[in-house]
Amino acid sequence: MRSFLLRLESYFKRMPERDQKIFPYFMFVCIFIIFYYGLIMTTIHKTRMLKNENNNLEQKVFMLKSKVSVLDTVKIGMQKKEKDLKELEQKFYELKNRVPETDEVSKIVKSLAKAEKMNYLIRELDEKNYIKHKAYTEIPMSIYLEGDFYHALHFIKAIEDSDRFFLINGMSFDANEEINGNVNVTLNLSAFKIMQLEYYLNAFSEKKAEEKGEKNVKK
């Protein structure tokens, strides 16, 4: 550096007086240009780097938004499935009450007849007469009732509104000759039962829980 300055000084002394006056300005301009362009190039380089980083960040933000959108869609779908599952479970339990695994038909008829103060007799309620279908078993029976006409109507209405599902296949009314105002009613009914309904419900719930667990693991 020192030798460069000495040579520059020697060169400056050999210059004409006019050039000596101009030389400092020339050097100042050169230094300014070098500094200015160096600063500009550095700024341009940094600007390009920042622009590239900004583009990369925008791409990452876009990808994250896409993933969030997909997750929101999946979440909405799972919430809908959970809601459908709860509704389905509720329907299963309602079905279990209306079509249980056990017979218990005589208890229901006895309770309804007692409430309406009617004499009754259940006929043809025998397991050998049960009709077995693929998904359920039909329990046919005949019920003989004796009592007041309006109580008989209330009994039939109670049968229709019972928690246990009954299908009225036919009925007949005859006047009671012994007691004035009373009637004899014969009802041909069918009750139903589904074996292992609760087992199928539990198996269905466990399967849905496993599917939900697998989806959570994948996330």
Buried b (16+ CB within 10 A) or exposed e, 75-91: eeeeeeeeeeeeeeeee
% of the chain with per-residue pLDDT over 70: 68
Residue that finishes a domain, picked among 22, 55, 72: 72
In whole angstroms, what is the distance from residue 46 CA to residue 19 CA? 39
In a domain, 214, yes or no: no
Whether residue 219 lies inside any domain: the answer is: no
Summarize pLDDT for 133-180 with one digit per residue, the tens: 877 888 888 888 888 888 888 888 888 888 788 888 898 888 877 777
> Of 95, 145, 92, nearest to 119 (Cα)?
145
Domain termination site, one of 49, 72, 95:
72
> Is 79 contained in some domain?
no
List the single range of 102-116, 122-136, 195-209 with lowest mean pLDDT. Answer: 195-209
In a domain, 213, yes or no: no
Q: Which of 30, 54, 72 is the last residue of a domain?
A: 72
CATH assignment at residue 195: 3.30.70.60
Domain of residue 136 covers: 104-199
Number of domains in the chain: 2
DSSP SS3 for 102: coil
